[in-house]
Structure 1
Amino acid sequence: MSRLLLLLLVQMEAGAQPRPPPFSQRFWINPEFWQRPAGPIFLLLGGESGMAPGVLSRGHVAELARAHGALLAALEHRFYGGSRGPGGDPDLRFLSSQQALADLAAFRLHVTSAWGLSPNHTWVCFGGSYAGALAAWARLKFPHLVSAAVASSAPVRAQVDFAGYNRVVSAALSSPTVGGSPECLGAVAAAFAALDRRLRGRRLAGVAWDFSCCRTPREPGDRELLAENVADVFAGAVQYNGHRPGDSVATLCRAMTDGRRGSPSRRAAVQALRRPTAGASSRLWLYQTCTEFGFFPSCRDAACPFSRFQTLRAQLSLCADVFGIAPARVRAAVAFTNAFYGAAHPGTGRVLFVNGALDPWRVLSVGGGPSGVLIAGASHCADMAPPRPGDPPALRAARQAWLWR
């Protein structure tokens, strides 16, 4: 038993922590490709959103399982999706990456027993984004349970002020290789400069009308949140670049440079209103950023094309307003996370860190060296998605190479 799992159990038995309420955790098993009984187990980890029943039937992990005769399993992260308690409202004290890793260890024991596996069976963890970090940390903390891991777009280094995110976004919006251009970046910067002027002025009712706000953003916090939400639309186009319907750098830049669609600020408003609303997972993920990771993308340097209302102070204030977590506690939590997991130097072997050159999250991952792969033209977690006709050549080549790695 690992020291982490043992510590959690001892603390609970000693009364150092309240006993967590029971909850149902969803998982899926796909034995279609398994070469019984010795074939490896490929475990796909869930992250900051729910998992779908078909998660093991498509995508690169399924292709790898087919090539290597693996039993496929997927484990949804506690409290996200359908993995909640009887009342449906989870106790956030028990929402953390450490608890998620303990869940993984318990799940491995369950599958080993249910499927008659050897205690020394080969297990490989896969994950993308936060789940990619979990995959790497599972190998770090449970090396006797996890033989290897593939961490796609994994931000293993926690950071309070993630200004580097917007620098990558800015570079992508101006890059012709992915459908951007200097004109596009200029139009985006002009749109947000105009938005800032309006937010500092007195005609806030017009802003509320343009962006379909539920009320006029008169308070500073409302203006900051509006600016951040609009910036998320543009950042998301870069981060996912074509892996969400109608959401790509090329599509965004065509709209932002089309003079027939009105002023740059008008074009930005239209793009913002086309974005689907966020799900219930947002509050849970906000809690984890406040208590473990930070990841707040401020717009404080000249390279950032977005609103100057997008400040670190404004984003930290959400932690205080929603959960009563002061900025000093956020900074202390981030420092602990980096000390506990090793930040950008996790100190473990047999972990492959895969990043896309277009992905802003690569700034907080592991790049270079024998354990890091950077794919030209690829976006966030693109290597895990099913192949598409528009995939960059480097991504197609990487997927093919990993089938036999």
Structure 2
Amino acid sequence: MRVMWLHFVFLLTLLGATEGAWIGRQMRKKLVQLRETQSFKSFYTRLGIPKDVLPFSPPIEGYITQPLDHFNRRNNATYRQRYWVNEKFWQHHEGPVFLYIGGESSVSQFSVLAGEHVDLAQTHNALLVSLEHRYYGASINPDGLTLEAIRFLSSQQALADLASFHLFISQKYNLTRQNTWICFGGSYPGSLSAWFRLKFPHLVYAAVASSAPVRAELDFTAYNKVVAESLSDPLIGGSIKCRNAVVEGFRAVDSLLKTGNTTQLERDFSSCERLSGPDDYTEFVSNLADIFMGAVQYNGETPTSDVRKICQLLTAVGLKSAYEGLKAVNRMYMEMMGMNCLENSHEKSLSELRNTNLTVVGVGERQWYYQTCTEFGYYQTCEEISCPFSQLITLKFQLSLCSQLFQVPPDSVRQSVQFTNEFYGADRPKSSRIIFVNGDIDPWHALSVLKNQSHSEIAILINGTAHCANMSPSRASDPPSLQKAREQIAVQVGDWLTAARRRPEENGY
């Protein structure tokens, strides 16, 4: 029964990760699926046992009752937040606690079974715990996605959840100052990891923040600048010829859109429906751009995320034009994703984002878009000349979604982004004992900390790697730069734990 239980939960994760219509959203969900698969394989490979045998009880799944609003105790509303615990490696008296922080998607048992933090936990006899982010996965009330209820979704509330969870776990396991807490997170949870250390230094001794965009940015033009540079990088299979082909291909697409020749585009790129007006045009070119943006951001992590393969298709001998190369890349993407056509209807996209039905696995799209509208921005636009894609991808178009979905006007989004940077310190957080880890081909590194801020705020920039590469289970194919970064992180975590044992009074409690 235990084996069936594990495979059932794993299957649910896979099913939940393959739903959706937008290309960008599909790619993110596909990545969730593949990361779970990698974690599953790594878990059993590390133990050296057949995959159909479960050697011990699965991690503990539990729920903690949290205030819906930590900052107004007159509001008695609550919700149940999911967590996972793995006690396998823990040395109870002095063993540290490694906290894995959840973010824009559901968190499964593999959050405490595989990954860099799990390898470190085994080395240091740590208790492994993970906490799912409020409003994602199973950590949400039935009405949580309505316009009225979603207002309690924020990074500040999430940090308060972490503080409450810290107390809960400390009491449950009778923790003392001898049990040092270190938190881990990647992408937005990487920012939360750094911010938890920044705002609650008495609770968490140190943090590892991977690919953490700690600087909020309304108009994130640097994203596509990094994409263009990465498409030109021979280290990952890019070239100037490849980048120029992308630019030329999108110019041809824009030219057809300007002349109103949408029938050819619908046929050549297998659109599910007719392109009806400017919003559909923007949806269409955004979907095409997502293929390249995703390939760079997640290079090497999925079959579709392969800059070398994409550039080979774009620059293949015998191609009549860059436009033909763009068609070839789109066909490859559709085949890899198992798609018959591409959904380019803006109205359908809006309808999906307005949907308040809960999905307890996979990526939370409505939730994350709400957070971009009320805290972070992060809108990846293409209005600068350096952008290799269509200039139809504008800030105005993306901000309009905030108004249409959540009644948040553009000026409010701007003010929220400014407040986020003031509240957390942007890319100069002025904290201590944090490692900021980034890959230099990952577009999100442009919003992270890239230089040492002090002797204990350390920045590691990994040559040739993409988003959160260091967090995945290690593989024999990892480049030397990634292997070196893992070693640096391991040494630093070890040094912190040694220092904490010498001065347990700094651990709080």
Q: TM-score, normalised by structure 1?
A: 0.92
**Aligned counterparts of 2:263 and 2:411: Cα–Cα separation in 1:** 35
2:334 is the alignment partner of 1:273? yes
2:282 is the alignment partner of 1:224? yes
Bigger mean CA deviation after superposition, 390-399 or 263-272 = 263-272
**Aligned counterparts of 1:19 and 1:248: Cα–Cα separation in 2:** 49
2:391 is the alignment partner of 1:308? yes
Aligned to 2:80: 24
Matches within 5 A, 1:331-370: 331-369=414-452, 370=455
The AA in structure 1 aligned to 2:101 is: L
1:317 to 400, 409, 417: 400
Bigger mean CA deviation after superposition, 292-301 or 278-287 = 278-287
Please say if residues 194 and 265 of structure 1, whose CA atoms lie closer than 8 Å, have aligned partners that are also in contact. no
Cα deviation, 1:336-393, whole Å, max 9, x if unaligned, reads: 1001111111111111111111111111000112421111111110011111233220
2:131 to 75, 80, 94: 75
Aligned to 2:365: 282
**Aligned counterparts of 2:172 and 2:375: Cα–Cα separation in 1:** 34
Aligned to 1:170: 228
The AA in structure 1 aligned to 2:246 is: V
Displacement after TM superposition at 1:98 (Å): 0.8
2:91 to 29, 35, 45: 35
Bigger mean CA deviation after superposition, 202-211 or 296-305 = 202-211
Please say if residues 198 and 429 of structure 2, whose CA atoms lie closer than 8 Å, have aligned partners that are also in contact. yes
Displacement after TM superposition at 1:118 (Å): 1.7
**Aligned counterparts of 2:418 and 2:86: Cα–Cα separation in 1:** 39
**Aligned counterparts of 2:363 and 2:208: Cα–Cα separation in 1:** 28
Aligned to 2:20: none
2:381 is the alignment partner of 1:298? yes
Please say if residues 195 and 265 of structure 1, whose CA atoms lie closer than 8 Å, have aligned partners that are also in contact. no
**Aligned counterparts of 2:71 and 2:305: Cα–Cα separation in 1:** 48
Matches within 5 A, 1:200-215: 200-215=258-273
Displacement after TM superposition at 1:80 (Å): 1.3
Cα deviation, 1:202-229, whole Å, max 9, x if unaligned, reads: 2213323333434322221221122112
The AA in structure 1 aligned to 2:191 is: A
Please say if residues 114 and 473 of structure 2, whose CA atoms lie closer than 8 Å, have aligned partners that are also in contact. yes
Matches within 5 A, 1:177-196: 177-196=235-254
2:454 is the alignment partner of 1:398? no
**Aligned counterparts of 2:173 and 2:269: Cα–Cα separation in 1:** 53
Taking only the aligned residue pairs, the percentage that are identical comes to 46
2:141 is the alignment partner of 1:85? yes
Mark the runs of 5 or more structure 1 residues left unpaired by the alignment.
none
**Other structure's SS at 2:464 match:** coil
**Aligned counterparts of 2:268 and 2:307: Cα–Cα separation in 1:** 23
The AA in structure 1 aligned to 2:243 is: L
**Other structure's SS at 2:104 match:** coil
**Other structure's SS at 2:461 match:** strand
Aligned to 1:378: 465
**Aligned counterparts of 2:267 and 2:79: Cα–Cα separation in 1:** 43
TM-aligned CA distance change 1:93 to 1:274, over 3 Å: farther
Displacement after TM superposition at 1:173 (Å): 0.5
Bigger mean CA deviation after superposition, 152-161 or 119-128 = 119-128
Bigger mean CA deviation after superposition, 220-229 or 204-213 = 204-213
**Aligned counterparts of 1:43 and 1:285: Cα–Cα separation in 2:** 22
**Aligned counterparts of 2:489 and 2:82: Cα–Cα separation in 1:** 28
Aligned to 2:325: 264
Displacement after TM superposition at 1:10 (Å): 5.2
The AA in structure 1 aligned to 2:448 is: S
Please say if residues 296 and 442 of structure 2, whose CA atoms lie closer than 8 Å, have aligned partners that are also in contact. yes
The AA in structure 2 aligned to 1:384 is: M
Q: TM-score, normalised by structure 2?
A: 0.74
* Alpha-carbon RMSD: 2.2
**Aligned counterparts of 1:197 and 1:317: Cα–Cα separation in 2:** 25
The AA in structure 2 aligned to 1:249 is: V
Aligned residues: 395
The AA in structure 2 aligned to 1:377 is: G
The AA in structure 1 aligned to 2:120 is: L
TM-aligned CA distance change 1:209 to 1:88, over 3 Å: farther
Matches within 5 A, 1:155-166: 155-166=213-224
**Aligned counterparts of 2:276 and 2:256: Cα–Cα separation in 1:** 11
2:193 is the alignment partner of 1:135? yes
Bigger mean CA deviation after superposition, 214-223 or 191-200 = 214-223
TM-aligned CA distance change 1:271 to 1:318, over 3 Å: farther
The AA in structure 1 aligned to 2:163 is: A
Aligned to 1:240: 298
Please say if residues 313 and 325 of structure 2, whose CA atoms lie closer than 8 Å, have aligned partners that are also in contact. no
